[in-house]
């Protein structure tokens, strides 16, 4: 599969990002096909998380443009990018520790501002509707029984699920995942794969950073390989895993 065969939902156009004298992203251009799972891989320091931070508005490019559905994102603050249907998770989970599990999901729902009923006029009725929705999402991620627990009471695997549930509650069209399988055991990682496949079947585009090659091969349709902030190559998982340059740069020489 190539992006030419798919509608492109997001584009990097000659994007560079420097931090002082360090150029983390260097004249990077690529397209993300709509409705697919794209993996962003590369060695440590390749610029993967920086690329996701640029998309979500945490950082602004030093030069170049990032276009989502043809619209430039680079002048938009992070909350406006989220309201355009772009949601994310983090490599290290970033939950709200003083809030319950269900409150975390409700906050994600509120931040996304999508799918909200226009027929309710009182705060009480809106809150009840949002609570019902949040509980439904928690059920999808096997967290309903923990709805009233504080996030600190969850295991690492459950915290990963909660962060995904909160991102999913925003009803994203584009989901950014930074190493979602990190810290999960094999069973949890396989359950995550099933959930991500289901999310994509609903029409959500996914861009994920993934160091676990088994996860990358199992879930992604398309792969972008970065090295020193530049695009090394793109292709299908099978093409990537058998490419000599990728083996040398990403997997290492024998």
Q: To the nearest whole number, what is the mean pLDDT of the chain?
A: 83
Two tokens at 69? 């559905």
Comparing 165 with 231, the larger pLDDT belongs to: 231
d(CA 151, CA 125) in angstroms, rounded, equals: 26
Model pLDDT for residues 221-237, shown as the tens digit of each residue: 999 999 999 999 999 99
Q: Of the ranges 95-99, 103-107, 138-142, 149-153, which one carries the lowest mean pLDDT score?
A: 95-99
Q: Of the ranges 140-144, 174-178, 189-193, which one carries the lowest mean pLDDT score?
A: 189-193
Model pLDDT for residues 25-79, shown as the tens digit of each residue: 999 999 999 988 999 998 888 999 999 999 999 999 999 999 999 999 999 999 8
Separation in Å, CA 8 to CA 29, 107, 190:
13, 30, 28
DSSP-derived secondary structure for 25-36: EEEEEEEEETTS
Comparing 128 with 50, the larger pLDDT belongs to: 50
Model pLDDT for residues 68-127, shown as the tens digit of each residue: 999 999 999 998 998 888 988 876 667 878 889 998 888 876 655 454 443 334 445 555
DSSP-derived secondary structure for the chain: --GGGS-EEEEEEEEEEEETTEEEEEEEEEEEETTSEEEEE-STTSSHHHHHHHHHTSS--SEEEEEETTEE-TTS-HHHHHTTTEEE--SS----TTSBHHHHHHHHHHHHT-S--SS--SHHHHHHHHHHHHHHHHHHTT-GGGTTSBGGGS-HHHHHHHHHHHHHHT--SEEEEESTTTT--HHHHHHHHHHHHHHHHTT-EEEEE---HHHHHHH-SEEEEEETTEEEEEE-HHHHHT-HHHIIIII---
25, 205 in Cβ contact below 8 A? no
pLDDT for the residue 2: 43
Q: Which domains does the chain have, with CATH numbers?
A: 1-85+173-254 (3.40.50.300), 99-171 (no CATH)
Residues of the chain above pLDDT 70, percent = 86
pLDDT category at 1 given cuts 50, 70, 90 is very low
Q: Is the pLDDT of residue 173 over 50?
A: yes
d(CA 246, CA 236) in angstroms, rounded, equals: 13
d(CA 195, CA 177) in angstroms, rounded, equals: 13
CA-angle at 179, arms to 173 and 182, nearest 5°: 135
């Amino acid at each position: 599969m190539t992006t030419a065969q798919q509608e492109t939902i997001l584009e990097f156009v000659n994007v560079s990002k420097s931090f002082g004298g360090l150029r983390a992203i260097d004249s990077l251009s690529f397209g993300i096909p709509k409705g697919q799972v794209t993996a962003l891989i590369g060695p440590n320091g390749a610029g993967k998380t920086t690329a996701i931070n640029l998309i979500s508005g945490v950082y602004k490019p030093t030069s170049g443009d990032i276009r989502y559905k043809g619209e430039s994102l680079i002048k938009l603050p992070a909350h406006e990018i989220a309201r355009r249907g772009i949601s994310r998770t983090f490599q290290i989970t970033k939950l709200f520790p003083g809030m319950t599990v269900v409150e975390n999901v409700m906050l994600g729902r509120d931040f996304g501002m999508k799918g909200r009923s226009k027929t309710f006029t009182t705060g009480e009725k809106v809150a009840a509707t949002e609570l019902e929705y949040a509980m439904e999402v928690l059920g999808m991620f096997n967290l309903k029984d923990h709805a009233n627990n504080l996030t600190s009471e969850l295991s690492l695997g459950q915290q990963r699920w909660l962060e995904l549930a909160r991102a999913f509650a925003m009803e994203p069209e584009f989901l950014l995942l930074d190493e979602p399988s990190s810290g999960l055991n094999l069973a949890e990682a396989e359950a995550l794969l099933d959930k991500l496949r289901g999310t994509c079947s609903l029409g959500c585009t996914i861009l994920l950073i993934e160091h676990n090659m088994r996860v990358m091969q199992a879930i992604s349709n398309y792969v972008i390989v970065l090295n020193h902030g530049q695009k090394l190559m793109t292709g299908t998982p099978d093409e990537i895993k058998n490419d000599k340059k990728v083996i040398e740069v990403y997997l290492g020489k024998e």
